[in-house]
Structure 1
Amino acid sequence: MRLRISPPLIASLLTLPLAACTVGPDYVRPQANVSEEFKEVKGWKQAQPRDTGLPGKWWEIFNDPKLNELEEQVAAANQSIIQAEAQYRQAQHLVQSVQSSLLPVATLTGTFNRFRAATGQNVAVGGVRNLFGQAVGVAWEPDLWGSVRRQVEANTSNAQASAATLHALILSSQSALADSYFQMKTLDAQKALLDETVTAFAKILEITKNRYAVGVVAKADVVQAETQLETVRAQSIDLGVQRAKLEHAIAVLIGKMPAELALAVSPLNAQPPGVPVSLPSELLERRPDIAAAERKIAAANAQIGVAKAAYFPTLNLASTNGFQSPTADTLFTMARRYWSLGPAGLALTLFDGGAKNAQYKQAIDAYDASVAAYRQTVLTGFQEVEDNLAALRILDEETQVQDKAVAAAKQALALTNNQYQAGTVSYINVMTAQTAALSNQQTAVQLLGQRLSASVLLVKALGGGWNETLVPTEDEADGDRKWTDYLILPVVE
């Protein structure tokens, strides 16, 4: 059975009379400037209602089964995420470690001495003697000024920040995979376009050779046609380098060796989905990196209390109960029993060269720095949302214009080919029309890829369906404990 003991009941009882003696400022979440509305959302049409949030499996809005399959493997197999999970567990155990300082420490000792008194020493029994001993000692330093409790508070906040950082890494890895996946599909679409162009150029080359054979065109036209054909073939082959790198990156993101993953070529038939955009004020609750930065402020605030408590005196209490005997067989008898209360020590530093004062100021400076880091994280979050809203809006407008350019270029190419075959224009006109058509079609494919990437990045900027309720509570931040965790020997599950 797993027990939830956080903080331990005994520690609560021991520190209850001292609960009011916690020095240092209580945490208040700092304010951050938030705009009333995203500037770039104006003029950008959403496909879903404003109050509809992103789903937890946000990648499903792209309706791509292969992407869904890959994304499901990220959280379970990505080694960076597994590392972050271990670091979160480590942060939980740091909370438990500090909580133990609230409790007394009990020690069991056993001793054996064999000795002889020095010559001339006045002793009751001369010669060689034995002395057996056994004692149980208890030592406790009461948390008079809340130093330990502030450290527990700091470690708890750090554990919560670690959990939020873990979620931020998961979101970042998932979005990186989706972005790489759509970039790869864009390359596949570009290669398909180039392969189609190679086929068309090969036909034109054949026509040109036939016309040269009958003396209609010059040899230069044949050479130009061959040059154009081989140039496009080289471009098609060159895309393989970029595709291989993207495929390898996807393999690493799902925790596999690059040799273990081979993604088949598939058409780029996806369209950017409608991404629901929340109110700006809700962004603070939906980005795990902002939550992590805010929890680090709480930890820094608690450290001010730890530094301030160092100014005050410390009290140490101790007691011992044991047995002492010259023979082992009479050791555990009431006649051999002894006990002591103490030593009890009260210590106050009178002079340390300004060390404590410097440490206290350092804690305040660290708090100020964490507040600035939090506000910068908020600003960056808003910038990322605005950037990708603007990208989607502008790219959508550009796509509409580019589609018209593609249609016009195709029509111009068809007319020029007819004119060339009729002998009314030179081959240079054909080359110009072919180059313009290919360039416009490539731009159209790249625009679709950019729009898909911008959609992925917008989802990431909006938190990817995460919300602040996923940050562990104070009771959850110290992890689960079993009774065996309180044993003095490690117990492996």
Structure 2
Amino acid sequence: MNAPVFRHRFAQRVTRASLLAATLAYTLTACTVGPDYVKPPATTAATYKELEGTGWKPAQPADTLSRGAWWNVYADPSLDALELQVASANQNVQAAEARFHAARATVAQYRSNFFPVVTANGDYSRARTSENVLHKSTAGLTLNDYLVQADASWEPDLWGRVSRSVEGAKAEAQASAADVQAALLSMQAELATDYFELRGLDQERQLLDDTIRAYEEALDLTQHRYAGGIATDADVAQAQTQLKTTQAQALDLGVQRAQLEHAIAILVGQTPSTFSLPVAPLAAVPVVAAAGVPSALLERRPDIASAERHVADMNAQIGVATAAFFPSLILSVTGGLEATNYSQWLLAPSRLWSLGPALAGTLLDFGGRASVKEQARAHYDESVAQYRQTVLTAFGQVEDNLAALRVLEQEAAAQDDAVAAAQRSLSVVSNRYKNGAITYLDVVVAQTTALTNERNAVSIARRRMAASVALIKALGGGWDVSSLPTDEQIVHPATPASEAAAHG
């Protein structure tokens, strides 16, 4: 038989076997075992408790935060420039993106199990068989063996084991994509919080510098009064003590500012030694982000989306464990050429082939597979509990920061009144001291009271900014679950979002 005829007949046999296998696989792949995924319910309230009776109206339909660049609500160009560096330079975000790429590669790995595995090999050997081996035709002969062959094997996904594995891997990849957004939001919120804290320290330092100049003038006045015999040396000592104490407080702020500046440098992927921020007082005002309704939070928090996708993955693993109870079918085909003489190696008589299915299953494993399935169900139950806990935590964070903003707004108003009263008191006491009606001790008390109240006001302003940022973070920073990559985008990363939506 010549080579073309051999190849034609071999191809016919392979084609018939492939058609038979494909027909059998198509018939049986509908038998995907395991539960189909249903999103677990989570308890939500009709509205946020802290919005009731506050005058804060939730935005319609959901919120007013722009997607991604939520920090623009503070209208601070310096903050805007820093936030843009987080996505590209922050190492925690880069690590989260690498984990997403790994999860996406896992999907491709599981999808490869839908297709046959084809291997090829070539071999040459020269061997001599013992002459004392009876009843063997090659006894005492030295022979060459030239071999080239290809093997193909395929296990049809009869019970959905591969389908469930791919389903779970896709869900885990989506969870990983949500983790990237959660990490990015966390780093961006931390940057904004540190930035406003630093600006608050700059404002406090400006307040202390102004106070130091006032104290220097008061010390100069007291020294002149002492020289004129009006004030005592105790008055001079008290004025000096007040001045030096305030100078020490101003210097102490430098430590906190340096630490915050270093933290910001790390967040934007720079070394602290090459990064600096110019001094500028806190100018931004706290923003009360519209909270919407609690049920919308399930679609707007990336950490909630990640937890929910993890539940889908665990549900798919139950199907994978269930498929282990059923037999597996492996279709294999081998073909090649083998000869002892090189000149005959590539001729038709040198052909070899084998073709056949193998059906295998476990009859008895003493509860091993049942234990794996029970373990998968337990992992699913755990993931559902973690999902619901994530939802509850998210609701709590929104309520916490709504309450903080409400209380701090009232506290700021009261503190402003206290600052105004302390300044009036200081003005009165200073005038009375100049007129010789009181000692400098009364001035020191009034100065201390005024400075304490002014610093408290700055501290409250910093806390309000931190609560505002925390509320935006708790609401998801304008993110939405529709931003998650679709199945099509996970399988084909280059697929545009619009095209993926059309396929979905």
- TM-score interval (norm. to shorter): over 0.9
Q: Residue 204 and residue 12 in structure 1: after superposition, are their counterparts in 2 closer, same or farther (change >3 A)?
A: farther
Shift of 1:170: 0.6
Pick the aligned partner of 1:272 from 281, 286, 289: 286
Are residues 1:91 and 2:103 paired?
A: yes
Q: After superposing the two structures, state which structure 1 stretch, 48-57 or 256-265, moved more.
A: 48-57
The percentage of counterpart residues that share the same residue type is 46
8 Å contact kept, 1:208–1:222: yes
For residues 206-264 of structure 1, give each alpha carbon's deviation from its aligned partner in whole angstroms, at most 9, with x where no partner exists: 11112222222221111111111111100000001111111111111111111121100
Q: State the SS of the aligned residue for 2:289.
A: coil
Matched residues in 1 for 2:335 and 2:346: separation? 12
Matched residues in 2 for 1:317 and 1:377: separation? 46
Pick the aligned partner of 2:94 from 74, 77, 82: 82
Pick the aligned partner of 2:371 from 351, 358, 380: 358
TM-score of the superposition, structure 2-length normalised?
A: 0.90
Which position in structure 2 is the counterpart of 1:41? 51
Are residues 1:474 and 2:484 paired?
A: no
Which position in structure 2 is the counterpart of 1:147? 161
Question: Amino acid of the residue matched to residue 272 of structure 1?
Answer: P
8 Å contact kept, 1:50–1:277: no
Question: Amino acid of the residue matched to residue 439 of structure 1?
Answer: T
Q: Residue 259 and residue 424 in structure 1: after superposition, are their counterparts in 2 closer, same or farther (change >3 A)?
A: same
Question: Amino acid of the residue matched to residue 208 of structure 1?
Answer: T
Q: State the SS of the aligned residue for 1:435.
A: helix
Residue pairs, 1:364-383, within 5 angstroms: 364-383=377-396
Are residues 1:327 and 2:341 paired?
A: yes
Matched residues in 1 for 2:25 and 2:224: separation? 99
Shift of 1:13: 8.9
Which position in structure 2 is the counterpart of 1:3? none
Matched residues in 1 for 2:60 and 2:453: separation? 35
Matched residues in 2 for 1:245 and 1:413: separation? 34
Q: After superposing the two structures, state which structure 1 stretch, 134-143 or 231-240, moved more.
A: 134-143
Pick the aligned partner of 2:65 from 15, 40, 54: 54
Are residues 1:440 and 2:453 paired?
A: yes
Which position in structure 1 is the counterpart of 2:255? 241
Question: Amino acid of the residue matched to residue 19 of structure 1?
Answer: T
Gaps of 5+ in 2: 1-20, 496-504
For residues 188-207 of structure 1, give each alpha carbon's deviation from its aligned partner in whole angstroms, at most 9, with x where no partner exists: 00011011111111111111
Q: Residue 481 and residue 331 in structure 1: after superposition, are their counterparts in 2 closer, same or farther (change >3 A)?
A: farther
Matched residues in 1 for 2:260 and 2:23: separation? 58
Question: Amino acid of the residue matched to residue 187 of structure 1?
Answer: L
Q: State the SS of the aligned residue for 2:147.
A: strand
- The number of residue pairs the alignment matches comes to 471
Q: After superposing the two structures, state which structure 1 stretch, 125-134 or 444-453, moved more.
A: 125-134
Q: Residue 63 and residue 216 in structure 1: after superposition, are their counterparts in 2 closer, same or farther (change >3 A)?
A: same
Are residues 1:27 and 2:37 paired?
A: yes
Matched residues in 1 for 2:295 and 2:279: separation? 42
Residue pairs, 1:111-190, within 5 angstroms: 111-121=123-133, 122-123=136-137, 127-190=141-204
Q: CA RMSD in A?
A: 1.8
8 Å contact kept, 1:384–1:461: yes
Question: Amino acid of the residue matched to residue 37 of structure 1?
Answer: T
Question: Amino acid of the residue matched to residue 375 of structure 2?
Answer: Q
For residues 361-388 of structure 1, give each alpha carbon's deviation from its aligned partner in whole angstroms, at most 9, with x where no partner exists: 1101100000000000000100111011
8 Å contact kept, 1:311–1:349: yes
Q: State the SS of the aligned residue for 2:311.
A: helix
Question: Amino acid of the residue matched to residue 40 of structure 1?
Answer: E
Are residues 1:72 and 2:79 paired?
A: no
